[in-house]
Amino acid sequence: MSAVKELAAVQQTNKSMICLGLDLDPKKMPSEYGNSVKGMFEFAHRIIDATADIVCAYKPNMAFFEAHGPEGFSLLRLIVQRIPEHVPIILDGKRGDIGNTAQFYADSMYNIFRASWVTINPYMGYDSMRPFLEYKGKGVFVLCLTSNPGSKDFQQLKVDGVPLYRVVAERTNFWNKEQNCGLVVGATHPDQLKEIREVAGDMPLLVPGVGAQGGSLEDSALLATDNFRKPAVINVSRSVLYATAEKDFAVRARAEVMRLNAEVERLRNGRPADQPPAPATVSAPIEPPPHSESLPDQPAAPLP
């Protein structure tokens, strides 16, 4: 099954276009989980078990794991093993290097860390992307217009009168011969999001920036999908992972994802905004992590 079809299948099964970013920051976790890599795994385990049936993907950001050295890589491997096989993993590493190096990046991300999709920086051109594109059944999300303020420094510069982000969108659509490409477009740019959707063909859009970064869920859902006619994934992270620092963090995380799903469904069906969402409950008890003993007990290095 292609990466696009796999994504569409889980969106239909789980009735969700919400991707949960696994940006594990020990300083934001309940105190009993943030003091060790073992605790971080238990935190992630409980979040995954509480949300795996109501999200369409998980997006671990590699920086949050690389900061812990070898233990962090072990943590990432254990976390991706915990994610159900039918739920895609979008591994966010923003790779982009010459072909030989890119091949090793691709091998690592697709084979070692079980990614279905990876994020790619297109600055070095097609030959830096080709090793990723040659993986059958896998996909790439290409950075097009990111949600951070610094996106204006390069991504919005004009190239022969056309914004660079539009050139990236058009070129990626041309490279999408195997239907395995998508674009990263920040929710903080609604006008450009609409423009990019128009030139992106049938490529899925990965939309970060909803929630803590201030992007609108309504704009993102409607514009990224062209009113639900095209594929898109809306990424949320901090607003779900750290909905509370109390012991019921997993229950609260599930409730927040269900709230987002209900809001998207309301938009899809054109219901009024004041209609109450479906009740948010956890469908099954969250069991203690059975694999946590395989992680070391020594404290993890704090993230910067």
The one catalytic residue among 94, 138, 152, 230: 94
Structure tokens at 56: 């369409």
**Cα distance between residue 181 and residue 183, in whole Å:** 7
Among 99, 174, 110, 113, residue whose Cα is nearest residue 142: 174
The SS3 assignment for 204 reads: coil
From edge to edge, which strands make up the β-sheet containing 232-236?
A: 57-60, 18-22, 232-236, 205-207, 181-185, 139-145, 117-120, 90-95
For the chain, how many residues are written?
Answer: 304
Which amino acid appears at position 164 of this protein? L
Helix (H, G, I), strand (E, B) or coil at 61: strand
Question: Is 94 labeled as catalytic in the residue annotation?
Answer: yes
Structure-block tokens of residue 109? 């991300």
Q: Are 77 and 297 a contacting pair, CB within 8 Å?
A: no
Residues carrying an active site annotation = 94
